[in-house]
Amino acid sequence: MITLNSVTKTFGDAANPVRALDDVSLSVASGEIFGVIGQSGAGKSTLIRTVNLLERPDAGTVTVGDRELTALNDRELLQARREIGMVFQQFNLLDSRTVRGNVELALEVVGVDRRERTKRTNEILELVGLEHKAQQYPAQLSGGQKQRVGIARALASRPRVLLSDEATSALDPETTESILQLLRSINKELGLTILLITHEMDVVKSICDSAALMSGGRILEQGRLVDLLSQPGSQLARGLFPLGELPEGNSTVIDVTFVGLSSGRPVVSQLARTHQIDVGLVGAAIETIAGAQSGRTRLELPGTADANAAAINDLRAQGLVVEIVRSGR
């Protein structure tokens, strides 16, 4: 649905260039929620702003749906933007307009007539649960309510894609959760493709189907979360399962990842039985990721090198994802 191909964007001048996007390629499938995560300054905002060409890339192409935006003229671009909704960290609502007026703005811009605007606005305000606030001004709303208006405005003209730049970063945890659930439900009900930016792993964990990790203007890894989980060395997967520090010493330490149903299996006791190793449990985390329960266990294997290797092979043979975090001596 969204494809960025070798997109580059440099800010600053020749003397002090800032490579905000460095040869970024990204692919977001239709109907999924795709999260881009990274530290401050990684280039996340620049990335999402290139998707509706608020920021025009220096090189590379941006395609949304079947339209290559980077090839459009100004008129066509306006048209294309009307099919891409966007919500902002600071909400960016007009103080001069009521809640209803803010939502209607999106329809006025498109040229929808008054009666149709009223009807559509009622519909969309109901969807975000703000029909009772229609006549209020943004200043009279809480942060969460403001963001609901932002979402309503973004959805008013029935876009197929929603872009969200840190939509929940200005909100408290509870409100964040309710906004994330709203995004999830519109994703399901309307079949909307959502590309969201965040610096919180929890956001990715709770609603994303896919994710990309950004750093220094580059995408380090990207993919469906279920695939990333079973990908040894995935930093995103590591972020999803915070397992803490490695234990002292130089024993062998492995991470075993259970994706989906295998979670319940008695792996530890089985290892101890078949390989006579006193497996130590260092850490464990169970998370619901992309709708499926997954877990990761960090185990310490104090056996001989051979016994450990045999144990690891055994686990892999069972289809578990095993990553050797530290190789003991």
Partner 1 sequence: MIDTTAPGFWPQLFETLLKATGETLYQVGVTMLITLVLGLVLGTLLVVTDRGGILERPFGSLVAGRVINVVTQTVVNLGRSIPFIILMIALIPFTRLILGSAFGVTAAIVPLTVAAIPFYARIVEISLREVNEGLVEAGHSLGATRWQLVSKVIIPEAVPGLIRGFTTTVVSIVNYSAIVGAIGGGGLGDVAIRYGHQRYSVIHIVAVIIVLVAIVQIVQVVGARLANRMSHR
Ligand X SMILES: Nc1ncnc2c1ncn2[C@@H]1O[C@H](COP(=O)(O)OP(=O)(O)OP(=O)(O)O)[C@@H](O)[C@H]1O
By CB under 6 A, name the binding residues for ligand X.
11-12, 18, 20, 38, 40-46, 199
Return the residue nearest Mg ion (CB atom): 45
Q: Cα–Cα distances in Å, from 103 out to 111, 119, 276, 311, 317?
A: 13, 11, 66, 60, 56
Of residues 161, 207, 215, 209, the one with CA closest to residue 184: 207
Please, are residues 289 and 230 in contact by the beta-carbon 8 Å criterion? no
CB of 39 to ligand X, least distance (A): 7
What's the one-letter identity of residue 175?
A: T
CB of 89 to partner 1, least distance (A): 9
Site membership for partner 1, residue 52 (CB under 8 A): yes
Stretch that binds Mg ion, among 41-49, 56-64, 119-127, 305-313 (CB under 5 A): 41-49
Give the Cβ contact number of residue 156 at 10 Å: 26
Tokens of 142: 């809480």
Site membership for partner 1, residue 94 (CB under 8 A): yes
CB of 112 to partner 1, least distance (A): 12
Round to whole Å and give the CA distance between 301 and 299.
6
CB of 28 to Mg ion, least distance (A): 18
Exposure on the CB side of residue 67, measured as CA atoms within 13 A: 19
- Decide whether 16 or 96 has the Cβ nearer to partner 1: 96
Instruction: Report the partner that residue 20 touches, choosing among partner 1, ligand X, Mg ion, none (CB closer than 5 to 8 A by kind).
Output: ligand X
Q: Where are the beta strands (DSSP E) in 166-232?
A: 193-198, 210-215, 218-224
State the virtual CA torsion across 32, 55, 37, 155 in degrees, nearest 10: -40
CB of 169 to Mg ion, least distance (A): 9
Site membership for partner 1, residue 54 (CB under 8 A): yes
Stretch that binds partner 1, among 74-82, 119-127, 200-208, 270-278 (CB under 8 A): 74-82
Please, are residues 273 and 304 in contact by the beta-carbon 8 Å criterion? no
Q: Cα–Cα distances in Å, from 192 out to 54, 155, 160, 188, 297?
A: 21, 10, 5, 7, 35
Exposure on the CB side of residue 217, measured as CA atoms within 13 A: 14
- Decide whether 44 or 296 has the Cβ nearer to ligand X: 44
Residue 110: helix, strand or coil by DSSP? helix
Q: Out of 45, 121, 147, 297, point to the residue binding Mg ion (CB under 5 A).
A: 45
CB of 88 to Mg ion, least distance (A): 10
Stretch that binds partner 1, among 32-40, 91-99, 175-183, 268-276 (CB under 8 A): 91-99
- Decide whether 99 or 290 has the Cβ nearer to partner 1: 99
What's the one-letter identity of residue 22?
A: D
- Decide whether 23 or 83 has the Cβ nearer to partner 1: 83
- Decide whether 41 or 302 has the Cβ nearer to ligand X: 41
In the chain, what is the straight-line distance between the N-terminal and C-terminal CA atoms, in Å?
49
Site membership for partner 1, residue 13 (CB under 8 A): no
CA 116 to chain centroid, in Å, comes to: 34
Binding mask 208-247 for partner 1 (x = CB under 8 A): ----------------------------------------
- Give the binding site for partner 1 (CB under 8 A): 52, 54, 78-82, 84-86, 88, 90, 92-97, 105-106, 108-110, 137-139, 153-154, 157, 163
